[in-house]
A and B are shown apart, each in its own frame.
Chain A
Amino acid sequence: AQSVTQLGSHVSVSEGALVLLRCNYSSSVPPYLFWYVQYPNQGLQLLLKYTSAATLVKGINGFEAEFKKSETSFHLTKPSAHMSDAAEYFCAVSVAFLGNTPLVFGKGTRLSVIA
């Protein structure tokens, strides 16, 4: 079964600094990987996803992530943090094998942005 580990339950950065949120996955077959963002009292919104095309994936709001098979990682980055980026970020994995498989989420990383 696939799984996701998000390193760091809380990350704090200064406004304008680099954002790096870490995600490692475990899957016995090629995965699909997702990053979702959740603002307070809202549902999850897709930031970006990897579905076996380009390994560097660009998403909304200036975020991007790189799929590294050798490291089983899919870290999320943004060059310059903005106050509006403060939210909870979830990495998730599914696989293509045997049709539609469940989306398995990590525990999330809370991003705080300090002015």
Chain B
Amino acid sequence: EAGVVQSPRYKIIEKKQPVAFWCNPISGHNTLYWYLQNLGQGPELLIRYENEEAVDDSQLPKDRFSAERLKGVDSTLKIQPAELGDSAVYLCASSPGRSSAETQYFGPGTRLLVL
């Protein structure tokens, strides 16, 4: 079974440029998560989807970040414009259902460097 796929794996951009990250969850997983992981820190939730509905986006900086999961499968996270402080690893995860007890399966992440 294929795991969570993310692309690109690495991205270097200049500040004020836009950037987008793509995630394809494990087949059949209805819940999808985007996390931000700063250097030396644990992941922090940005947004959670149940199917195509964003059910928790309270930590997403909506002035510059946006996300979509139009068909309830793959998802895109966008930053526009990027700032120096956005340099981090962006992780995508998925789980079969919505229970807090469920295991989340993580992709390898996209490492973003903003110059």
Instruction: List residues of chain A with CB under 8 Å of any chain B CB.
Output: 4, 9, 32, 34, 36, 41-46, 49, 51, 90, 92, 94-96, 99-103, 105-108
Asked if B44 is at the interface (CB within 8 A of a chain A CB), the reply is: yes
Give B97's nearest chain A residue, CB to CB: A100
Q: Are A103 and B106 in contact (CB under 8 A)?
A: no
Other 19 A-B pairs with CB < 8 A, given A32-B100, A44-B91, A103-B104: A34-B103, A41-B108, A41-B111, A42-B108, A42-B109, A43-B91, A43-B106, A44-B43, A44-B104, A49-B103, A92-B42, A100-B31, A100-B48, A100-B98, A105-B42, A106-B42, A107-B40, A107-B42, A108-B40
Instruction: List residues of chain B with CB under 8 Å of any chain A CB.
Output: 3-4, 31, 40-45, 48, 50, 55-56, 91, 93, 98-101, 103-109, 111
Given A41-B108, A43-B106, A43-B107: A105 and B43 interface contact (C-beta under 8 Å): yes
Query: In the complex, what's the smallest C-beta–C-beta distance from B43 to chain A, in angstroms?
Result: 5
Q: Are B101 and A32 in contact (CB under 8 A)?
A: yes
Q: Are B101 and A51 in contact (CB under 8 A)?
A: yes
B48, B101, B106: the one within 8 Å of A44 (CB): B106
Query: In the complex, what's the smallest C-beta–C-beta distance from A112 to chain B, in angstroms?
Result: 15
Q: Specify which chain B residues have a CB less than 8 angstroms from the CB of A105 in the assembled complex.
A: 42-44
Sample of 16 A–B contacts (CB below 8 Å):
A32-B101, A36-B106, A41-B111, A43-B3, A43-B108, A46-B104, A90-B43, A94-B101, A99-B98, A100-B31, A100-B48, A102-B45, A103-B45, A103-B104, A107-B40, A108-B41
